[in-house]
Chain A
Amino acid sequence: QKEVEQDPGPLSVPEGAIVSLNCTYSNSAFQYFMWYRQYSRKGPELLMYTYSSGNKEDGRFTAQVDKSSKYISLFIRDSQPSDSATYLCAMEGQGNLIFGKGTKLSVKP
């Protein structure tokens, strides 16, 4: 079993839709959870950062962490074509980040 599992998609939604992206993990020691966005031919950009369980909201983005289920989510409200990118979840384990393989999202106008 891989440490971090993420559905690669691709996921295609119409503009204005609510997008739900998810990752599951196996290591209960993970404490820090992040979501990165990566546009084509660019480096990843940090979107959300959460410590331990709970919800965090930033504008149209909401991150949720459920440590009991080892499951994290990123919700994007009112999705825009500019949100089209690959979204990577990441978790801190033993001093380094472990990434999911990323979900490719396409938001159609």
Chain B
Amino acid sequence: KAGVTQTPRYLIKTRGQQVTLSCSPISGHRSVSWYQQTPGQGLQFLFEYFSETQRNKGNFPGRFSGRQFSNSRSEMNVSTLELGDSALYLCASSLERVQETQYFGPGTRLLVL
């Protein structure tokens, strides 16, 4: 069974631009969560999608948004990029709930200049 895939793997943007990251969950998984990982703050929850609906949201500004498609694939968007948005963005999928086994993708490393 294929794992969680994320594209692109690396991205360089400049301040003020916007970016869209993509995540394909494991086949059959309906819950997709997004996380931001930085050396200073560690792994922080962004949001979770289930059946095309945002079910939970972390404490991030509205510049961070996401969506989920009917095939469970998910995208996250960051608008008006700031230097502090440089991070590893991780996507994780599980069958139904975050309490279940979550499988992480390799992440997208975003650098904002």
Contact = CB atoms under 8 A, between A and B. Distances in A.
Interface of A: 31-32, 36, 41-46, 49, 88, 90, 92, 94-102
A44 B42 contact: no
A96 to B, nearest CB: 4
Given A101-B42, A102-B42, A96 B33 contact: yes
Task: Tell me whether chain A's interface is mostly helix, strand or loop, or mixed.
Answer: strand
A58 to B, nearest CB: 13
Interface of B: 4, 33, 35, 41-45, 48, 55-56, 58, 90, 92, 98-99, 101-107
A93 to B, nearest CB: 9
B102 A95 contact: no
Contact of B43 (A31, A32, A49, A88): A88
Given A32-B99, A95-B55, A99-B44, 8 more contacts: A43-B90, A44-B104, A96-B56, A96-B58, A96-B98, A97-B98, A99-B42, A99-B43
